[in-house]
Amino acid sequence: MMALMRQSIFSRLAGYEDTNDAERLSIDPTMRYVVGGRATQHTAASTSQMGRFETEVLTQRGNLKTLAKLSGKWIDRLRERQPMRELILDMDSSVSETHGEQEGTAYNGHFGCTCYHPLFCFNQFGDVEQSQLRDGNVHSAKDWRAVLEPEVARYQSRNLPRYFCADAAFANPELYEYLEAEGFEYAIRLPGNDALLRDIEPMLTRPVGRPSNTPVVWYAGFLYQAKSWDRVRRVVAKVEWHNGELFPRVGFIVTNLSRPAKRVVRFYNQRGTAEQWIKEGKNAVKWTRLSCHDFVDNQVRLQLFVLAYNLGNFLRQSVRHWTLTTLREKLIKDWGQGGAPFKESGLPDGGGGSAARVVSKHSSGHQPVVPARRGQWMNEKRMKTTVNAEEVSSPAQTAGRGVQTDGERGGGSEKRCCGGEIWLDKSSDGRKIAETTSKTQFDAMNIKSNGKSRMEGICR
């Protein structure tokens, strides 16, 4: 069970979003190393095995509930090593287009396509705390309790400042009351109406004088109570006058924050990152690939995609300037080419205890592979030129040449160079040490060292 779960999550993280890819990944040395167990001696799970696991085992009611809670458990394990100072939850819906007869899919007039309409809850680090797949034609805020309440309960006992942000689709008095009762401070976009516009009528008059090249921005805070509200609440307004535009841009935020109006707007504007996180989930891990017919099967697929996204986001927090796509191409794919040092990075070691070090030959005829550094995977046919070791003065001078010492014939050491990298081979025991001047390689090694303290044991 654990091996199948590892294969499902890591294959999605590496960019293989369909179970059809399992046929090729089952003989991949790195995937066999990640899966661990008997896969190191034979093969990993095949396409049919992965299909049965995801559509027959994980779709059981108890397993699906456990799968939905797994993201929160991973985040808790990570925050044991990196405690958070505050909690900011951001809820938003998304669109997953469908192109078949999937159960629950429907046309959505807002998005203008046939789709599913999943709901996500992020924290301020971009981790998905909770997610839920919904029919394509439901309202954006439908089932918000099912997504938000488990996360509020998880953080209830922690002494943290807690905040909540959402767009105008979640402007619901029932949500306001719930957040106030749970001790959350919130900032939620409020749709405009005539009553709100009357309260800021002086700000809707065009500024006197020559129009400014930069926008003229005004802020205001006032008390307001809609008919459906049980109490008066604070509303913050932002009015922007842009050069060349006839009417101002007006926005309202309902909040219980005691900050000045400008700081409330600045706090709310930070939630724009949630849109970027959703976009990365679509582009990097392809969590819109919900191609099964049954709705429950697609629920499982979405949860597996979310787990893969979270695992990549944990790693990405060491290099925040990288997108998940860059992380996958420069780090995950690089591990797959050069032997994945998952034990060093703190990722699951494939055996539950000690890391599996050797992937032996199996029935398909593949040769044993020892996952190690990139230098062990270079093709020796590329080493053509033989010179003395003393001639090697620097990696830059030897880039692109093969270097062979006389010690190779006498049991000494051997230096090989290709593409700006030098490998030192100790022929007495067959071990290889890599020295590199490649910036990408240095970045990757730095991530691995940093990742150890951040990631070790999260999902082991």
In tens, the pLDDT along 20-55 reads 888 888 888 888 888 888 888 888 888 999 999 999
CA–CA gap between residue 415 and residue 404 (Å, rounded): 6
* Beta bridge partner(s), residue 309: none
pLDDT at 335: 57
Angle, in degrees to the nearest 10, between helices 295-316 and 272-283: 110
- Tell whether the model's pLDDT for residue 14 goes beyond 90: no
- Tell whether the model's pLDDT for residue 239 goes beyond 80: yes
Q: How confident is the model at residue 315 (pLDDT cuts 50, 70, 90)?
A: confident
In this prediction, residues 330-336 reach a mean pLDDT of 68
CA–CA gap between residue 455 and residue 214 (Å, rounded): 45
CA–CA gap between residue 185 and residue 88 (Å, rounded): 9
Which H or E run contains 433? Answer: strand 431-436
Residue 132 φ/ψ, nearest 5 degrees: -150, 135
The verdict on domain 83-312 having CATH code 3.90.350 is yes
Q: Token digits for 384?
A: 């053509």
What are the Cα distances from residue 460, in Å, to 45, 336, 357? 19, 20, 17
Contacts of 324-331 spanning 24+ positions with Cβ under 8 A:
324/280, 324/281, 324/283, 324/284, 324/285, 325/280, 325/283, 325/284, 327/284, 328/13, 328/14, 328/15, 328/284, 330/440, 330/443, 330/444, 331/444, 331/447
One-letter amino acid of 442: F
456: burial class by Cβ within 10 Å (0-12, 13-18, 19+)? middle
pLDDT at 19: 86
In this prediction, residues 185-201 reach a mean pLDDT of 95
CA–CA gap between residue 319 and residue 440 (Å, rounded): 13
Q: Token digits for 353?
A: 């205890």
Contact 125, 150 (CB under 8 A): no
Q: How confident is the model at residue 391 (pLDDT cuts 50, 70, 90)?
A: very low
pLDDT at 112: 93
What are the Cα distances from residue 328, in Å, to 12, 76, 323, 332, 336? 10, 24, 9, 5, 10
CA–CA gap between residue 285 and residue 268 (Å, rounded): 27
SS3 state at 187? strand
Per the document, the length of the chain is: 460
CA–CA gap between residue 107 and residue 95 (Å, rounded): 11
pLDDT at 427: 37
Neighbours of 90 (CB within 10 A): 23
- One-character DSSP codes across 336-389: HHH---HHHHTS--SSSSSPP--B---TT-PPPB----GGGGS-GGG------G
pLDDT digits (tens, 9 = 90+) for 77-126: 999 988 999 999 999 999 999 998 899 999 999 999 999 999 999 999 99
Q: Token digits for 255?
A: 């909040």
One-letter amino acid of 303: Q
* Beta bridge partner(s), residue 188: 166, 254
Q: How confident is the model at residue 201 (pLDDT cuts 50, 70, 90)?
A: very high
In this prediction, residues 382-401 reach a mean pLDDT of 41
Q: How confident is the model at residue 252 (pLDDT cuts 50, 70, 90)?
A: very high
CA–CA gap between residue 139 and residue 61 (Å, rounded): 25
Q: How confident is the model at residue 351 (pLDDT cuts 50, 70, 90)?
A: very low
Determine which of 162-176, 208-222, 437-451 has the lowest per-residue pLDDT on average. 437-451
Determine which of 30-34, 45-49, 64-68, 365-369 has the lowest per-residue pLDDT on average. 365-369
CA–CA gap between residue 13 and residue 1 (Å, rounded): 19
In this prediction, residues 384-389 reach a mean pLDDT of 38
- Tell whether the model's pLDDT for residue 11 goes beyond 80: yes
Domain ranges for the chain, please list them.
83-312, 374-455
Distance of CA 407 to the CA centre of its chain: 48
* Beta bridge partner(s), residue 211: none
Q: What's the CA angle centered on 459, arms 455 and 460, to 5 degrees?
A: 100
SS3 state at 204? helix
Which H or E run contains 435? Answer: strand 431-436
Which H or E run contains 451? Answer: helix 439-455
